[in-house]
Chains A and B, each alone.
Chain A
Protein backbone atom coordinates (compact mmCIF):
# COMPACT_ATOMS: atom_id res chain seq x y z
CA UNK A 1 0.00 0.00 0.00
CA UNK A 2 1.41 3.39 -1.08
CA UNK A 3 4.68 1.64 -1.90
CA UNK A 4 5.20 0.69 1.75
CA UNK A 5 5.78 -2.77 3.28
CA UNK A 6 2.68 -4.08 5.10
CA UNK A 7 4.18 -3.57 8.58
CA UNK A 8 5.04 0.06 7.81
CA UNK A 9 1.61 0.68 6.28
CA UNK A 10 0.08 -0.66 9.50
CA UNK A 11 2.30 1.65 11.55
CA UNK A 12 1.29 4.67 9.45
CA UNK A 13 -2.44 3.94 9.07
CA UNK A 14 -3.31 1.16 11.53
CA UNK A 15 -2.33 2.93 14.75
CA UNK A 16 -4.36 6.07 13.96
CA UNK A 17 -7.32 3.80 13.17
CA UNK A 18 -6.94 2.11 16.57
CA UNK A 19 -6.93 5.48 18.32
CA UNK A 20 -10.08 6.51 16.44
CA UNK A 21 -11.77 3.35 17.69
CA UNK A 22 -10.56 4.06 21.24
CA UNK A 23 -11.95 7.61 21.07
CA UNK A 24 -15.32 6.47 19.75
CA UNK A 25 -15.50 3.83 22.49
CA UNK A 26 -14.60 6.45 25.08
CA UNK A 27 -17.32 8.81 23.87
CA UNK A 28 -19.91 6.05 24.03
CA UNK A 29 -18.90 4.83 27.48
CA UNK A 30 -18.61 8.30 29.02
CA UNK A 31 -22.06 9.63 28.06
CA UNK A 32 -23.00 9.89 31.74
CA UNK A 33 -20.17 12.36 32.33
CA UNK A 34 -22.46 15.13 31.13
CA UNK A 35 -24.03 14.82 34.61
CA UNK A 36 -20.81 16.14 36.18
CA UNK A 37 -21.92 19.69 36.74
CA UNK A 38 -21.20 22.47 39.21
CA UNK A 39 -21.16 21.58 42.91
CA UNK A 40 -24.67 20.86 44.22
Chain B
Protein backbone atom coordinates (compact mmCIF):
# COMPACT_ATOMS: atom_id res chain seq x y z
CA UNK B 1 0.00 0.00 0.00
CA UNK B 2 1.47 3.36 -1.03
CA UNK B 3 0.79 5.90 1.71
CA UNK B 4 0.99 8.94 -0.61
CA UNK B 5 -1.61 7.50 -2.95
CA UNK B 6 -3.85 6.54 -0.04
CA UNK B 7 -3.44 10.01 1.52
CA UNK B 8 -4.73 11.63 -1.66
CA UNK B 9 -7.66 9.26 -1.74
CA UNK B 10 -8.49 9.98 1.90
CA UNK B 11 -8.29 13.72 1.22
CA UNK B 12 -10.62 13.26 -1.73
CA UNK B 13 -13.14 11.33 0.36
CA UNK B 14 -13.02 13.97 3.10
CA UNK B 15 -13.82 16.72 0.57
CA UNK B 16 -16.67 14.68 -0.93
CA UNK B 17 -18.19 13.99 2.48
CA UNK B 18 -17.73 17.66 3.41
CA UNK B 19 -19.80 18.67 0.39
CA UNK B 20 -22.47 16.18 1.45
CA UNK B 21 -22.64 17.76 4.93
CA UNK B 22 -22.72 21.25 3.44
CA UNK B 23 -25.66 20.29 1.23
CA UNK B 24 -27.47 18.90 4.27
CA UNK B 25 -26.89 22.09 6.28
CA UNK B 26 -28.15 24.13 3.34
CA UNK B 27 -31.51 22.57 4.12
CA UNK B 28 -31.79 20.67 0.88
CA UNK B 29 -33.35 17.66 2.53
CA UNK B 30 -36.15 19.38 4.46
CA UNK B 31 -38.83 18.60 1.90
CA UNK B 32 -39.18 16.16 -0.95
CA UNK B 33 -38.56 18.67 -3.75
CA UNK B 34 -35.43 19.79 -1.92
CA UNK B 35 -34.20 16.25 -1.36
CA UNK B 36 -35.00 14.89 -4.84
CA UNK B 37 -34.42 17.96 -7.05
CA UNK B 38 -32.34 20.38 -4.96
CA UNK B 39 -35.31 22.76 -4.88
CA UNK B 40 -35.01 23.19 -8.70
CA UNK B 41 -32.22 25.67 -8.15
CA UNK B 42 -29.22 24.27 -10.03
CA UNK B 43 -27.32 26.56 -12.45
CA UNK B 44 -25.92 25.73 -15.90
CA UNK B 45 -22.35 24.78 -14.96
CA UNK B 46 -23.36 22.40 -12.17
CA UNK B 47 -26.20 21.03 -14.34
CA UNK B 48 -23.79 20.28 -17.19
CA UNK B 49 -21.15 18.69 -15.02
CA UNK B 50 -23.51 16.62 -12.89
CA UNK B 51 -25.21 15.40 -16.08
CA UNK B 52 -21.88 14.48 -17.63
CA UNK B 53 -20.18 12.95 -14.61
CA UNK B 54 -23.33 10.95 -13.88
CA UNK B 55 -23.31 9.65 -17.45
CA UNK B 56 -19.58 8.87 -17.38
CA UNK B 57 -19.39 6.06 -14.93
CA UNK B 58 -16.69 3.66 -13.82
CA UNK B 59 -17.22 2.32 -17.33
CA UNK B 60 -15.03 5.14 -18.66
CA UNK B 61 -12.02 4.02 -16.67
CA UNK B 62 -12.59 0.27 -16.68
CA UNK B 63 -14.91 -0.59 -19.57
CA UNK B 64 -13.67 2.01 -22.08
CA UNK B 65 -10.03 1.26 -21.32
CA UNK B 66 -10.69 -2.46 -21.67
CA UNK B 67 -12.66 -2.04 -24.90
CA UNK B 68 -9.90 0.08 -26.41
CA UNK B 69 -7.21 -2.33 -25.23
CA UNK B 70 -8.98 -5.30 -26.85
CA UNK B 71 -10.47 -3.75 -30.01
CA UNK B 72 -8.24 -0.73 -30.80
CA UNK B 73 -9.60 2.39 -32.51
CA UNK B 74 -12.97 0.75 -33.18
CA UNK B 75 -13.84 1.59 -29.57
CA UNK B 76 -13.78 5.30 -30.51
CA UNK B 77 -17.23 4.84 -32.10
CA UNK B 78 -18.61 4.94 -28.55
CA UNK B 79 -16.75 8.22 -27.89
CA UNK B 80 -18.03 9.65 -31.20
CA UNK B 81 -21.60 9.59 -29.91
CA UNK B 82 -20.71 10.26 -26.29
CA UNK B 83 -19.10 13.65 -26.95
CA UNK B 84 -22.43 15.05 -28.14
CA UNK B 85 -24.65 13.17 -25.68
CA UNK B 86 -24.98 16.08 -23.26
CA UNK B 87 -25.76 18.84 -25.74
CA UNK B 88 -28.11 16.57 -27.68
CA UNK B 89 -30.03 15.75 -24.52
CA UNK B 90 -30.19 19.36 -23.29
CA UNK B 91 -31.05 20.84 -26.67
CA UNK B 92 -33.81 18.36 -27.50
CA UNK B 93 -35.59 17.78 -24.20
CA UNK B 94 -33.82 19.91 -21.54
CA UNK B 95 -35.77 23.16 -21.66
CA UNK B 96 -39.16 21.59 -22.40
CA UNK B 97 -38.84 18.85 -19.80
CA UNK B 98 -37.90 21.37 -17.10
CA UNK B 99 -40.99 23.39 -17.91
CA UNK B 100 -43.43 20.52 -18.24
CA UNK B 101 -42.15 18.83 -15.08
CA UNK B 102 -42.74 22.02 -13.08
CA UNK B 103 -46.22 22.51 -14.51
CA UNK B 104 -47.11 18.89 -13.75
CA UNK B 105 -45.53 19.03 -10.27
CA UNK B 106 -43.36 16.00 -11.07
CA UNK B 107 -40.48 15.16 -8.75
CA UNK B 108 -39.16 12.02 -10.45
CA UNK B 109 -38.71 11.22 -14.11
CA UNK B 110 -41.18 8.35 -13.78
CA UNK B 111 -43.84 10.48 -12.11
CA UNK B 112 -43.36 12.92 -14.99
CA UNK B 113 -44.07 10.11 -17.46
CA UNK B 114 -47.30 9.25 -15.65
CA UNK B 115 -48.44 12.88 -15.69
CA UNK B 116 -47.79 13.12 -19.42
CA UNK B 117 -49.16 9.63 -20.20
CA UNK B 118 -51.81 9.27 -17.47
CA UNK B 119 -52.27 5.70 -16.26
CA UNK B 120 -51.16 3.72 -13.20
CA UNK B 121 -49.74 1.22 -15.71
CA UNK B 122 -47.34 3.88 -17.07
CA UNK B 123 -45.98 4.50 -13.60
CA UNK B 124 -45.83 0.83 -12.60
CA UNK B 125 -44.10 -0.41 -15.76
CA UNK B 126 -41.68 2.51 -15.97
CA UNK B 127 -40.82 2.35 -12.25
CA UNK B 128 -40.32 -1.42 -12.24
CA UNK B 129 -38.10 -1.30 -15.32
CA UNK B 130 -36.09 1.58 -13.90
CA UNK B 131 -35.54 0.06 -10.47
CA UNK B 132 -34.38 -3.21 -12.02
CA UNK B 133 -32.06 -1.64 -14.61
CA UNK B 134 -30.65 1.11 -12.39
CA UNK B 135 -29.90 -1.44 -9.65
CA UNK B 136 -28.09 -3.51 -12.24
CA UNK B 137 -26.19 -0.45 -13.40
CA UNK B 138 -25.23 0.60 -9.86
CA UNK B 139 -23.86 -2.89 -9.30
CA UNK B 140 -21.28 -2.23 -12.06
CA UNK B 141 -20.16 0.89 -10.19
CA UNK B 142 -19.73 -1.02 -6.93
CA UNK B 143 -17.61 -3.66 -8.67
CA UNK B 144 -15.53 -0.97 -10.39
CA UNK B 145 -15.09 0.87 -7.08
CA UNK B 146 -14.09 -2.29 -5.25
CA UNK B 147 -11.58 -3.35 -7.90
CA UNK B 148 -10.01 0.10 -8.13
CA UNK B 149 -9.81 0.56 -4.39
CA UNK B 150 -8.32 -2.91 -3.91
CA UNK B 151 -5.62 -2.21 -6.49
CA UNK B 152 -4.70 1.16 -5.02
CA UNK B 153 -4.74 0.29 -1.35
CA UNK B 154 -3.76 -3.36 -1.48
CA UNK B 155 -6.82 -4.19 0.65
CA UNK B 156 -8.88 -7.30 -0.05
CA UNK B 157 -11.62 -6.77 -2.64
CA UNK B 158 -14.44 -7.21 -0.10
CA UNK B 159 -13.01 -4.56 2.29
CA UNK B 160 -12.25 -2.17 -0.55
CA UNK B 161 -15.79 -2.62 -1.88
CA UNK B 162 -17.27 -2.01 1.57
CA UNK B 163 -15.32 1.25 2.06
CA UNK B 164 -16.21 2.64 -1.38
CA UNK B 165 -19.86 1.71 -0.96
CA UNK B 166 -20.13 3.11 2.58
CA UNK B 167 -18.86 6.53 1.48
CA UNK B 168 -21.25 6.66 -1.49
CA UNK B 169 -24.24 5.71 0.68
CA UNK B 170 -23.38 8.15 3.46
CA UNK B 171 -23.32 11.26 1.32
CA UNK B 172 -26.27 10.22 -0.84
CA UNK B 173 -28.06 9.65 2.46
CA UNK B 174 -27.18 13.09 3.79
CA UNK B 175 -28.00 15.73 1.26
CA UNK B 176 -30.04 14.08 -1.51
CA UNK B 177 -29.89 15.64 -4.96
CA UNK B 178 -27.97 18.74 -3.92
CA UNK B 179 -25.19 16.67 -2.35
CA UNK B 180 -25.09 14.48 -5.44
CA UNK B 181 -25.04 17.45 -7.87
CA UNK B 182 -22.31 19.38 -6.06
CA UNK B 183 -20.12 16.34 -5.40
CA UNK B 184 -20.58 15.45 -9.08
CA UNK B 185 -19.38 18.93 -9.99
CA UNK B 186 -16.27 18.56 -7.87
CA UNK B 187 -15.71 15.02 -9.12
CA UNK B 188 -16.06 16.01 -12.77
CA UNK B 189 -13.15 18.45 -12.35
CA UNK B 190 -11.01 15.76 -10.71
CA UNK B 191 -11.94 13.34 -13.53
CA UNK B 192 -10.71 15.71 -16.24
CA UNK B 193 -7.47 16.50 -14.41
CA UNK B 194 -6.83 12.80 -13.76
CA UNK B 195 -7.53 11.52 -17.25
CA UNK B 196 -5.62 14.32 -19.02
CA UNK B 197 -2.66 13.68 -16.74
CA UNK B 198 -2.53 9.97 -17.45
CA UNK B 199 -3.01 10.62 -21.18
CA UNK B 200 -0.12 13.09 -21.19
CA UNK B 201 2.12 10.68 -19.28
CA UNK B 202 1.26 7.79 -21.60
CA UNK B 203 1.87 9.89 -24.74
CA UNK B 204 5.20 11.09 -23.37
CA UNK B 205 6.18 7.51 -22.59
CA UNK B 206 5.53 6.26 -26.15
CA UNK B 207 7.10 9.29 -27.90
CA UNK B 208 3.91 11.07 -28.99
CA UNK B 209 0.66 10.28 -30.78
CA UNK B 210 2.11 9.68 -34.26
CA UNK B 211 4.95 7.50 -32.94
CA UNK B 212 2.41 5.46 -30.97
CA UNK B 213 0.29 4.83 -34.07
CA UNK B 214 3.36 3.80 -36.08
CA UNK B 215 4.32 1.34 -33.33
CA UNK B 216 0.76 0.00 -33.15
CA UNK B 217 0.75 -0.55 -36.92
CA UNK B 218 3.86 -2.71 -36.54
CA UNK B 219 2.16 -4.87 -33.90
CA UNK B 220 -1.12 -5.22 -35.83
CA UNK B 221 -2.34 -2.75 -38.48
CA UNK B 222 -5.98 -3.60 -37.76
CA UNK B 223 -5.67 -1.93 -34.32
CA UNK B 224 -5.77 1.35 -36.26
CA UNK B 225 -8.87 0.36 -38.23
CA UNK B 226 -12.38 1.67 -37.58
CA UNK B 227 -13.56 -1.95 -37.89
CA UNK B 228 -11.68 -3.34 -34.90
CA UNK B 229 -8.89 -5.85 -34.46
CA UNK B 230 -8.82 -8.45 -37.25
CA UNK B 231 -11.54 -6.30 -38.87
CA UNK B 232 -14.03 -8.16 -36.69
CA UNK B 233 -16.77 -5.54 -37.20
CA UNK B 234 -16.17 -4.83 -40.89
CA UNK B 235 -19.28 -3.46 -42.61
CA UNK B 236 -21.40 -3.87 -39.46
CA UNK B 237 -23.04 -0.45 -39.61
CA UNK B 238 -25.87 -1.60 -37.33
CA UNK B 239 -23.35 -2.33 -34.58
CA UNK B 240 -21.60 1.00 -35.25
CA UNK B 241 -24.96 2.83 -35.05
CA UNK B 242 -25.62 1.13 -31.71
CA UNK B 243 -22.22 2.25 -30.40
CA UNK B 244 -22.92 5.85 -31.42
CA UNK B 245 -26.53 5.86 -30.19
CA UNK B 246 -26.07 4.23 -26.79
CA UNK B 247 -24.25 7.23 -25.27
CA UNK B 248 -25.91 9.99 -27.35
CA UNK B 249 -29.61 9.51 -28.12
CA UNK B 250 -29.72 6.79 -25.47
CA UNK B 251 -29.02 9.37 -22.73
CA UNK B 252 -32.46 10.81 -23.34
CA UNK B 253 -33.93 7.61 -21.94
CA UNK B 254 -31.89 7.39 -18.74
CA UNK B 255 -34.08 8.43 -15.79
CA UNK B 256 -31.10 9.34 -13.57
CA UNK B 257 -29.79 11.66 -16.30
CA UNK B 258 -32.99 13.37 -17.48
CA UNK B 259 -33.80 14.18 -13.85
CA UNK B 260 -31.02 16.78 -14.20
CA UNK B 261 -33.29 18.75 -16.53
CA UNK B 262 -36.05 18.82 -13.94
CA UNK B 263 -33.68 20.25 -11.30
CA UNK B 264 -32.43 23.17 -13.42
CA UNK B 265 -32.87 26.67 -12.04
CA UNK B 266 -34.75 27.84 -15.14
CA UNK B 267 -35.79 26.14 -18.40
CA UNK B 268 -33.32 28.36 -20.27
CA UNK B 269 -30.49 26.97 -18.12
CA UNK B 270 -30.32 24.17 -20.67
CA UNK B 271 -28.71 26.52 -23.20
CA UNK B 272 -25.45 27.28 -21.40
CA UNK B 273 -25.43 23.83 -19.82
CA UNK B 274 -25.33 22.32 -23.33
CA UNK B 275 -22.24 24.36 -24.20
CA UNK B 276 -20.48 23.45 -20.94
CA UNK B 277 -21.33 19.78 -21.52
CA UNK B 278 -19.67 19.76 -24.94
CA UNK B 279 -16.59 21.52 -23.62
CA UNK B 280 -16.20 19.03 -20.80
CA UNK B 281 -16.83 16.06 -23.07
CA UNK B 282 -14.20 17.18 -25.58
CA UNK B 283 -11.64 17.18 -22.79
CA UNK B 284 -12.74 14.00 -21.08
CA UNK B 285 -14.48 11.50 -23.35
CA UNK B 286 -11.84 10.43 -25.94
CA UNK B 287 -9.00 10.26 -23.38
CA UNK B 288 -9.77 6.92 -21.64
CA UNK B 289 -10.13 5.20 -25.02
CA UNK B 290 -6.80 6.60 -26.29
CA UNK B 291 -5.13 5.64 -23.00
CA UNK B 292 -6.52 2.10 -23.38
CA UNK B 293 -5.01 1.91 -26.89
CA UNK B 294 -1.65 3.22 -25.66
CA UNK B 295 -1.69 0.55 -22.96
CA UNK B 296 -1.33 -2.03 -25.75
CA UNK B 297 2.20 -0.65 -26.26
CA UNK B 298 3.11 -0.02 -22.64
CA UNK B 299 1.53 -3.06 -20.95
CA UNK B 300 1.22 -5.70 -23.69
CA UNK B 301 0.69 -8.62 -21.31
CA UNK B 302 -2.18 -7.44 -19.09
CA UNK B 303 -4.17 -10.24 -17.44
CA UNK B 304 -7.25 -8.10 -16.81
CA UNK B 305 -7.77 -5.43 -19.54
CA UNK B 306 -10.30 -3.66 -17.26
CA UNK B 307 -7.35 -2.60 -15.12
CA UNK B 308 -5.39 -1.11 -18.05
CA UNK B 309 -5.80 2.52 -16.91
CA UNK B 310 -5.25 1.70 -13.22
CA UNK B 311 -2.04 -0.16 -14.08
CA UNK B 312 -0.81 2.58 -16.40
CA UNK B 313 -1.26 5.14 -13.65
CA UNK B 314 0.65 2.93 -11.25
CA UNK B 315 3.51 2.28 -13.69
CA UNK B 316 3.91 5.73 -15.24
CA UNK B 317 3.12 8.31 -12.59
CA UNK B 318 4.78 9.43 -9.36
CA UNK B 319 2.87 8.49 -6.22
CA UNK B 320 1.33 11.92 -5.61
CA UNK B 321 -0.02 12.15 -9.15
CA UNK B 322 -1.19 8.55 -9.04
CA UNK B 323 -3.22 9.58 -6.00
CA UNK B 324 -4.97 12.29 -8.05
CA UNK B 325 -5.60 9.90 -10.94
CA UNK B 326 -6.96 7.27 -8.58
CA UNK B 327 -9.19 9.89 -7.00
CA UNK B 328 -10.40 10.72 -10.53
CA UNK B 329 -11.19 7.09 -11.18
CA UNK B 330 -13.05 6.77 -7.90
CA UNK B 331 -14.80 10.07 -8.72
CA UNK B 332 -16.12 8.68 -12.01
CA UNK B 333 -17.41 5.61 -10.26
CA UNK B 334 -18.90 7.40 -7.28
CA UNK B 335 -20.49 10.27 -9.19
CA UNK B 336 -22.54 7.76 -11.15
CA UNK B 337 -23.20 5.41 -8.27
CA UNK B 338 -24.62 8.17 -6.03
CA UNK B 339 -26.97 9.40 -8.76
CA UNK B 340 -28.10 5.87 -9.52
CA UNK B 341 -28.68 5.11 -5.85
CA UNK B 342 -30.63 8.32 -5.30
CA UNK B 343 -32.74 7.73 -8.40
CA UNK B 344 -33.43 4.10 -7.60
CA UNK B 345 -34.36 5.03 -4.04
CA UNK B 346 -36.58 7.90 -5.23
CA UNK B 347 -38.36 5.84 -7.86
CA UNK B 348 -38.89 2.90 -5.53
CA UNK B 349 -40.21 5.16 -2.75
CA UNK B 350 -42.26 7.74 -4.65
CA UNK B 351 -43.27 5.81 -7.76
CA UNK B 352 -43.89 2.42 -6.19
CA UNK B 353 -44.26 2.80 -2.37
CA UNK B 354 -46.21 6.07 -2.21
CA UNK B 355 -48.07 5.57 -5.48
CA UNK B 356 -49.19 2.00 -4.94
CA UNK B 357 -48.65 1.08 -1.25
CA UNK B 358 -49.01 4.13 1.02
CA UNK B 359 -50.56 7.11 -0.81
CA UNK B 360 -50.96 9.11 2.42
CA UNK B 361 -47.25 9.09 3.32
CA UNK B 362 -46.01 12.51 4.49
CA UNK B 363 -43.10 14.27 2.75
CA UNK B 364 -40.84 13.64 5.74
CA UNK B 365 -41.77 9.97 5.74
CA UNK B 366 -40.99 9.79 2.02
CA UNK B 367 -37.52 11.26 2.48
CA UNK B 368 -36.80 8.59 5.09
CA UNK B 369 -38.29 5.81 2.97
CA UNK B 370 -36.09 6.97 0.10
CA UNK B 371 -33.04 6.98 2.36
CA UNK B 372 -33.90 3.54 3.70
CA UNK B 373 -34.21 2.19 0.19
CA UNK B 374 -30.84 3.67 -0.76
CA UNK B 375 -29.39 1.66 2.12
CA UNK B 376 -31.22 -1.56 1.17
CA UNK B 377 -30.24 -1.30 -2.52
CA UNK B 378 -26.64 -0.63 -1.50
CA UNK B 379 -26.63 -3.70 0.74
CA UNK B 380 -28.06 -5.95 -1.99
CA UNK B 381 -25.55 -4.50 -4.49
CA UNK B 382 -22.69 -5.22 -2.08
CA UNK B 383 -23.78 -8.81 -1.66
CA UNK B 384 -24.10 -9.44 -5.43
CA UNK B 385 -20.80 -7.64 -6.19
CA UNK B 386 -19.10 -9.94 -3.70
CA UNK B 387 -20.79 -13.16 -4.74
CA UNK B 388 -20.17 -13.17 -8.49
CA UNK B 389 -18.95 -9.93 -10.02
CA UNK B 390 -19.60 -9.83 -13.80
CA UNK B 391 -17.63 -7.61 -16.23
CA UNK B 392 -18.28 -3.89 -15.76
CA UNK B 393 -18.43 -3.11 -19.49
CA UNK B 394 -21.03 -5.83 -20.09
CA UNK B 395 -23.34 -4.62 -17.31
CA UNK B 396 -23.09 -0.96 -18.30
CA UNK B 397 -23.68 -1.54 -22.00
CA UNK B 398 -26.56 -3.90 -21.26
CA UNK B 399 -28.33 -1.66 -18.72
CA UNK B 400 -27.85 1.55 -20.71
CA UNK B 401 -28.98 -0.05 -23.97
CA UNK B 402 -32.18 -1.31 -22.38
CA UNK B 403 -32.86 2.01 -20.58
CA UNK B 404 -32.31 4.01 -23.75
CA UNK B 405 -34.43 1.65 -25.85
CA UNK B 406 -37.28 1.65 -23.33
CA UNK B 407 -37.51 5.32 -22.48
CA UNK B 408 -35.88 7.62 -25.07
CA UNK B 409 -38.87 7.79 -27.49
CA UNK B 410 -41.32 8.26 -24.58
CA UNK B 411 -39.31 11.19 -23.12
CA UNK B 412 -38.75 12.83 -26.51
CA UNK B 413 -42.36 12.47 -27.68
CA UNK B 414 -43.61 13.69 -24.28
CA UNK B 415 -42.56 17.23 -25.20
CA UNK B 416 -42.43 17.14 -28.99
CA UNK B 417 -45.39 15.14 -30.30
CA UNK B 418 -48.92 16.12 -29.30
CA UNK B 419 -50.40 12.85 -30.53
CA UNK B 420 -48.17 10.61 -28.40
CA UNK B 421 -50.66 8.98 -26.04
CA UNK B 422 -50.74 6.59 -23.10
CA UNK B 423 -51.15 3.27 -25.01
CA UNK B 424 -48.38 4.34 -27.41
CA UNK B 425 -45.96 5.19 -24.59
CA UNK B 426 -46.66 2.03 -22.59
CA UNK B 427 -46.31 -0.20 -25.65
CA UNK B 428 -43.11 1.63 -26.64
CA UNK B 429 -41.50 1.11 -23.22
CA UNK B 430 -42.36 -2.58 -23.13
CA UNK B 431 -41.39 -3.33 -26.75
CA UNK B 432 -38.14 -1.32 -26.51
CA UNK B 433 -37.02 -3.03 -23.31
CA UNK B 434 -37.99 -6.53 -24.43
CA UNK B 435 -36.32 -6.10 -27.84
CA UNK B 436 -33.03 -4.90 -26.33
CA UNK B 437 -33.03 -7.65 -23.68
CA UNK B 438 -33.86 -10.42 -26.17
CA UNK B 439 -31.24 -9.07 -28.62
CA UNK B 440 -28.61 -9.23 -25.89
CA UNK B 441 -29.63 -12.59 -24.40
CA UNK B 442 -29.82 -14.36 -27.77
CA UNK B 443 -26.66 -12.62 -29.04
CA UNK B 444 -28.58 -11.50 -32.13
CA UNK B 445 -26.01 -8.77 -32.85
CA UNK B 446 -23.65 -11.43 -34.23
CA UNK B 447 -26.17 -12.77 -36.75
CA UNK B 448 -28.03 -9.55 -37.62
CA UNK B 449 -25.06 -7.10 -37.33
CA UNK B 450 -27.48 -4.87 -35.43
CA UNK B 451 -26.61 -3.84 -31.85
CA UNK B 452 -29.25 -4.28 -29.09
CA UNK B 453 -29.45 -0.50 -28.78
CA UNK B 454 -30.13 -0.02 -32.51
CA UNK B 455 -32.76 -2.75 -32.56
CA UNK B 456 -34.37 -1.63 -29.29
CA UNK B 457 -34.64 2.07 -30.06
CA UNK B 458 -35.91 1.40 -33.61
CA UNK B 459 -38.59 -0.93 -32.20
CA UNK B 460 -39.69 1.47 -29.44
CA UNK B 461 -39.81 4.45 -31.84
CA UNK B 462 -41.90 2.62 -34.42
CA UNK B 463 -44.16 1.32 -31.64
CA UNK B 464 -44.93 4.70 -30.07
CA UNK B 465 -45.79 6.15 -33.49
CA UNK B 466 -47.91 3.24 -34.73
CA UNK B 467 -49.79 2.56 -31.48
CA UNK B 468 -50.41 6.26 -30.75
CA UNK B 469 -51.87 6.82 -34.22
CA UNK B 470 -53.91 3.62 -34.07
CA UNK B 471 -55.47 4.50 -30.69
CA UNK B 472 -56.08 8.25 -31.13
CA UNK B 473 -59.86 7.86 -31.04
CA UNK B 474 -59.80 5.37 -28.20
CA UNK B 475 -57.34 7.28 -26.01
CA UNK B 476 -56.95 10.91 -27.14
CA UNK B 477 -54.47 13.13 -25.33
CA UNK B 478 -56.38 15.10 -22.68
CA UNK B 479 -56.91 18.86 -23.32
CA UNK B 480 -55.10 19.92 -20.11
CA UNK B 481 -52.02 17.97 -21.24
CA UNK B 482 -52.15 19.54 -24.69
CA UNK B 483 -52.43 22.99 -23.08
CA UNK B 484 -49.38 22.23 -20.92
CA UNK B 485 -47.49 21.03 -24.01
CA UNK B 486 -48.33 24.24 -25.85
CA UNK B 487 -47.03 26.26 -22.91
CA UNK B 488 -43.92 24.05 -22.86
CA UNK B 489 -43.22 24.81 -26.52
CA UNK B 490 -43.55 28.56 -25.94
CA UNK B 491 -40.40 30.37 -24.82
CA UNK B 492 -41.16 32.56 -21.83
CA UNK B 493 -42.19 32.44 -18.18
CA UNK B 494 -44.79 29.92 -17.09
CA UNK B 495 -48.04 31.78 -16.26
CA UNK B 496 -48.85 31.44 -12.55
CA UNK B 497 -52.21 29.96 -13.45
CA UNK B 498 -50.43 26.97 -14.96
CA UNK B 499 -48.66 26.35 -11.65
CA UNK B 500 -51.60 27.00 -9.37
CA UNK B 501 -52.82 23.42 -9.17
CA UNK B 502 -50.35 21.20 -7.41
CA UNK B 503 -52.14 18.02 -8.51
CA UNK B 504 -51.86 18.02 -12.28
CA UNK B 505 -54.23 15.06 -12.61
CA UNK B 506 -57.03 17.11 -11.03
CA UNK B 507 -56.58 20.02 -13.43
CA UNK B 508 -59.62 19.25 -15.64
CA UNK B 509 -61.93 19.16 -12.58
CA UNK B 510 -60.36 22.33 -11.17
CA UNK B 511 -60.83 24.15 -14.47
CA UNK B 512 -64.48 23.11 -14.58
CA UNK B 513 -65.03 24.51 -11.07
CA UNK B 514 -63.18 27.71 -11.99
CA UNK B 515 -65.36 28.11 -15.09
CA UNK B 516 -68.46 27.59 -12.93
CA UNK B 517 -67.40 30.39 -10.55
CA UNK B 518 -66.52 32.64 -13.47
CA UNK B 519 -69.99 32.00 -14.88
CA UNK B 520 -71.60 32.84 -11.52
CA UNK B 521 -69.68 36.10 -11.27
CA UNK B 522 -70.62 36.96 -14.85
CA UNK B 523 -74.33 36.45 -14.15
CA UNK B 524 -74.36 38.64 -11.00
List residues of chain A with CB under 8 Å of any chain B CB. Answer: 2-5, 7-8, 11-12, 15-16, 18-20, 22-23, 26-27, 30, 32-40
Which A residues lie within 8 Å of B495 (CB)? 39-40
Contact B91 A30 (CB under 8 A): yes
Which candidate, B265-273, B423-431, B434-442, is the interface stretch facing chain A?
B265-273
Asked if A19 contacts B87 (CB within 8 A), the reply is yes
Pairs across A and B, CB under 8 Å, 28 listed:
A3-B213, A3-B217, A5-B226, A8-B76, A8-B225, A8-B226, A11-B77, A15-B79, A15-B83, A15-B84, A18-B84, A19-B281, A20-B278, A23-B274, A27-B271, A27-B275, A30-B95, A30-B268, A30-B274, A32-B491, A33-B267, A33-B270, A33-B271, A35-B492, A36-B491, A38-B266, A39-B499, A40-B493
Instruction: Give the contacting residue for A36; candidates B80, B492, B496; CB below 8 A.
Output: B492
Contact between chains at B271 and A11 (CB < 8 Å):
no
For B500, the closest partner residue in chain A by CB is: A39
| Bound CA span A10–B113, Å | 39
User: Which residue in B73, B91, B102, B492 is a CB contact (below 8 Å) of A26?
Assistant: B91
Asked whether any CB of chain A lies closer than 8 Å to the CB of B301, the reply is no
Q: Chain B contact residues: over half helix, strand or loop, or mixed?
A: helix
Nearest residue, chain B, Cβ from A1:
B210
Measured between alpha carbons, how far is A8 from B208 in the docked complex, in Å?
17
Inter-chain residue pair count (beta carbon < 8 A): 110
B210–A2 contact, CB under 8 A?
yes
Closest to A5 in B: B224
Number of residues of chain B lying within 8 A (CB) of chain A = 42
Cβ–Cβ contact A35 & B268, under 8 A: yes
A22 and B271 CA atoms in complex are apart in Å by 12
Residues of A within 8 A of B225 (CB): 5, 7-8
**B286 in the interface, Cβ–Cβ < 8 Å?**
yes
Q: How far is the CB of A33 from chain B (nearest CB, A)?
A: 4
Is the CB of B155 closer than 8 A to any CB of chain A? no
A7 smallest CB distance to B (angstroms): 5
Q: Give the distance in Å from the alpha carbon of A8 to the alpha carbon of B224 in the complex.
A: 7
Measured between beta carbons, the chain A residues less than 8 angstroms from B11 are none
Nearest-CB distance from A34 to chain B (Å)?
Answer: 5
Q: How far is A2 from B294 in the complex, measured between Cα atoms in Å?
A: 14
B interface with A by C-beta (< 8 Å): 73, 76-77, 79-80, 83-84, 87-88, 91, 95, 99, 102, 209-214, 217, 224-226, 266-268, 270-271, 274-275, 278, 281-282, 286, 491-496, 498-499
CB-CB nearest in chain A for B495: A40
Alpha-carbon distance between A19 and B86 when the two chains are bound, in angstroms: 10
| Bound Cα distance A26, B95 (Å) | 12
In contact, A36 and B268 (Cβ under 8 angstroms):
yes
Q: Which chain B positions have C-beta within 8 A of A20?
A: 278, 282
B492 adjacent to A22 (CB under 8 Å)? no
Q: When chains A and B are docked, how far (Å) is the Cα of A5 from the Cα of B102?
A: 50
Closest to A40 in B: B493
Interface contact B84-A22, CB-CB below 8 Å = yes
CA distance A11 to B225 in the complex (A): 10
Contact call A34/B87, Cβ cutoff below 8 A: no
Given the interface contacts A8-B73, A23-B278, does A30 sit within 8 Å of B271 by beta carbon? yes
Q: How far is the CB of A21 from chain B (nearest CB, A)?
A: 10
Partner of A19, one of B83, B217, B266: B83
Cβ contacts under 8 Å, A23 to chain B: 84, 87, 274-275, 278
Q: B292 CB to closest chain A CB, in angstroms?
A: 14
- CB-CB nearest in chain B for A18: B84
In angstroms, Cα B217 to Cα A15, docked, is 23
Residues of B within 8 A of A36 (CB): 95, 99, 266-268, 491-493
**Chain B min CB distance to A35 (Å):** 5
Residues of chain A lying within 8 A (CB to CB) of residue B493: 35-40
Contacts of B102 in A (CB 8 A): 39
Please determine whether B213 and A40 come into contact, CB atoms closer than 8 angstroms: no
Taking a contact as CB atoms closer than 8 A, the residue among A12, A27, A32, A37 that contacts B266 in the complex is: A37
CB within 8 A of B73: which of A12, A16, A18? A12
> With a CB–CB cut-off of 8 A, which chain A residues contact B271?
26-27, 30, 33-34
**Residue in A8, A16, A22, A30 whose beta carbon sits within 8 Å of that of B286 in the complex:** A16
